[in-house]
């Protein structure tokens, strides 16, 4: 029987008492490990994290907690090769795609470690300047941010078992808030292994970092008023979380990152170089992690007169993508994470084909070193709407996300039409803009900022410098309004706001002077 991975809660490793769920290699179909959380004393787990982990973290200042994050980085860097092996086996990703997850998570931790150093030996953050409450400046108000005295519960998605963990845990731990991670079952192995390495190294105080692998049943029931919960996943599950009594009655703070029909927009009058940048980015975003990214490009908006040209160029690049077993060095795109995900992508494609035609058929890609009857592999597929009128008539293309290597070309008449079509996505994590006219790019960015968490502008002058449409950098916000969940993560020190409580201290100037003065780097 395959190994049963233990859960780390209440300061010790504990195995579930059930048979568990078997995790599979999505290419070979072989059994890897089992996960199970049956029988865990969840109340004890949350209480231990809240009381022991929270107290130990809050006893440290920001600089000291940043130093702990730096030590976590060292531990993880020492085990990178093992993490790559797990990612290949459990997620079916090629090495470059695994790096986005593994090295991206470690990089984010390192960034927050440095931010802790910037914040220095402080135990709270000041939010703004002193505010006079009357004519006499003797009695004033100072807003402060202090760590919440609760636990942070993270319910993560299957596509980023490393980055999804650390991009949330880094600002939480730096804030002084203990963390309980519930990774997606299908790819929980990498998350569990990373937590195990950090725990075994003895870097963090007991209760600061916990992991529960298996069912999420009962987790939300443990949440108390000063706890927070951050979720990445489907809008349906997000609705369940938002309607839970912990949220509706106990006012537990919630951050949601859900579905997102992200777009790429080629502005009118773009040069051939700008068109090429769009083509390269679309093809890359469709194939990195087999399109299983919440930030991947799903809709490609181009002027109606250029639709055929762009379609041919993207199709030509996609045709060169080798698909199959990530262990083969010639393979550039690995597998979807599971048979269920493969079936979901196939069903989604069938749905979109009711409105769009196939411009590049993923079925033409012959799998390399992989059995089609077993492997969860699918080639990249580019769909397209016939013309601008079809873009107006389309409904599914603007509402249904296929979470795989699929994108749809959407022709538009003019800029105003393009903006309207993009907004039909009802809120997205990111849109990217391509063109040469700096004024037009800036205007388009402001026009679309209200419906996106991030606007990524790629012009020829930054062709070799930009960080990528789908790459989430810790310095910039990650999240989006509307159907994208309405949440915010990262954004540098802004991420710390979620794990702090803001209060106004009203007192004499002499008392307020005893509070530590503001620093150039603040979480406000």
Cα-based distances in Å from 514 to 218, 508, 509: 44, 10, 9
* CA triple 191-170-295, angle to 5 deg: 70
Question: How far, rounded to the nearest angstrom, does the alpha carbon of residue 382 sit from its chain's CA centroid?
Answer: 24
Angle between helices 62-77 and 80-91 in degrees, nearest 10 = 70
Rounded distance, CA 366 to CA 208, Å? Answer: 47
The two tokens of residue 224 are 């108390």
Nearest residue to 179 (alpha-carbon basis) of 238, 112, 117, 97: 112
- Under DSSP, the state recorded for 51 is I
d(CA 237, CA 258): 9
| CB proximity list for 181: less than 8 A, separation 6 or greater | 154, 156, 165, 169, 191, 195, 209, 210, 211, 212
DSSP output for 498-523: GGEEEEEEEEEHHHHHTSPPP-SS--
Active-site annotation holder among 167, 213, 285, 294: 294
For residues 222 and 122, the answer to whether their CB atoms sit within 8 Å is no
Catalytic residue among 257, 281, 488, 489: 257
Helix (H, G, I), strand (E, B) or coil at 373: coil
Judge contact between 445 and 455, C-beta under 8 A. yes
Catalytic residue status for 257: yes
Q: How far apart are CA 181 and CA 8, in angstroms?
A: 10
The two three-digit tokens of residue 141, written as one number: 């108000």
Q: Measured between alpha carbons, how far is 437 from 226 in angstroms, rounded to an integer?
A: 48
Q: Measuring CA to CA, how many Å separate 181 from each of 50, 53, 86, 211, 313?
A: 14, 14, 18, 5, 42
Question: How wide is the angle at C-alpha 345 spanned by C-alphas 339 and 349, nearest 5°?
Answer: 145
The strand pairing partners of 147, in sequence order, are 500
Count of positions (residues) in the chain:
524
Residue 366 burial by Cβ neighbours in a 10 Å radius (0-12, 13-18, 19+):
exposed
Residue 101 and residue 161 in contact, taking contact as beta carbons nearer than 8 Å: yes
Q: Which residues form the catalytic set? A: 257, 294
């Amino acid at each position: 029987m395959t190994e049963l991975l233990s859960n780390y809660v209440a300061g010790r490793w504990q195995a579930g008492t059930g048979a568990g769920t078997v995790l599979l290699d999505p290419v070979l179909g072989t059994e890897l490990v089992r996960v199970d959380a049956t029988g865990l004393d969840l109340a004890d787990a949350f209480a231990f994290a809240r009381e022991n982990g929270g107290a130990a973290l809050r006893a440290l200042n920001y600089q000291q907690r940043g130093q702990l994050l730096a030590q976590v980085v060292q531990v993880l860097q020492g085990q990178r090769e093992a993490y790559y092996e797990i990612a290949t086996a459990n997620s079916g990703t090629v090495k470059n795609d695994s790096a986005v997850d593994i090295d991206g998570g470690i990089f984010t931790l390192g960034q927050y470690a440095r931010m802790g150093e910037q914040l220095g030996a402080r135990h709270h953050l000041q939010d703004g300047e002193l505010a006079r409450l009357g004519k006499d400046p003797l009695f004033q108000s100072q807003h402060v941010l202090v760590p919440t005295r609760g636990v942070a519960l993270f319910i993560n998605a299957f596509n980023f078992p490393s980055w999804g963990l650390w991009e949330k845990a880094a600002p939480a731990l730096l804030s002084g808030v203990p963390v309980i991670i519930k990774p997606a079952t299908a790819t929980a192995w990498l998350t569990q292994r990373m937590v195990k390495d950090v725990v075994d190294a003895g870097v963090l105080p007991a209760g600061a970092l916990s992991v529960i692998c298996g069912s999420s049943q009962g987790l939300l029931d443990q949440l108390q008023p000063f706890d927070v919960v951050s979720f990445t996943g489907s809008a349906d599950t997000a609705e369940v979380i938002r309607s839970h009594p912990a949220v509706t009655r106990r006012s537990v703070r919630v951050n949601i990152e859900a579905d997102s029909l992200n777009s790429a927009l080629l502005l009118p009058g773009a040069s051939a170089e700008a068109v090429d940048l769009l083509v390269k980015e679309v093809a890359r975003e469709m194939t990195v992690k087999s399109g299983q990214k919440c930030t991947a490009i799903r809709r490609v908006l181009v002027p109606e007169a250029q639709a055929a040209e762009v379609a041919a160029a993207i199709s030509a690049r996609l045709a060169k993508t080798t698909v199959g077993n990530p262990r083969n060095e010639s393979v550039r795109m690995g597998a979807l994470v599971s048979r269920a995900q493969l079936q979901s992508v196939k069903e989604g494609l069938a749905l979109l084909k009711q409105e769009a035609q196939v411009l590049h058929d993923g079925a033409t890609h012959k799998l390399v070193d992989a059995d089609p009857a077993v492997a969860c592999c699918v080639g990249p597929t580019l769909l397209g709407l016939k013309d601008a009128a079809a873009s107006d008539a389309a409904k599914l293309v603007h509402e249904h996300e296929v979470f795989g290597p699929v994108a749809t070309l959407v022709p538009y008449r003019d800029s105003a039409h393009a903006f309207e079509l993009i907004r039909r996505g009802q809120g997205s994590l990111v849109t990217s803009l391509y063109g040469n006219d700096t004024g037009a790019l800036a205007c388009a960015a402001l026009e679309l900022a209200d419906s996106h968490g991030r606007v990524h502008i790629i012009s020829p002058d930054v062709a070799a410098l930009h960080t990528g449409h789908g790459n989430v950098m810790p310095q910039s916000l990650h999240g989006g309004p509307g159907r994208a969940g309405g949440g915010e993560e990262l954004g540098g020190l802004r991420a710390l706001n979620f794990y702090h409580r803001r209060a106004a201290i009203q007192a004499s100037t002499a008392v307020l002077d005893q509070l530590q003065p503001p620093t150039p780097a603040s979480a406000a």
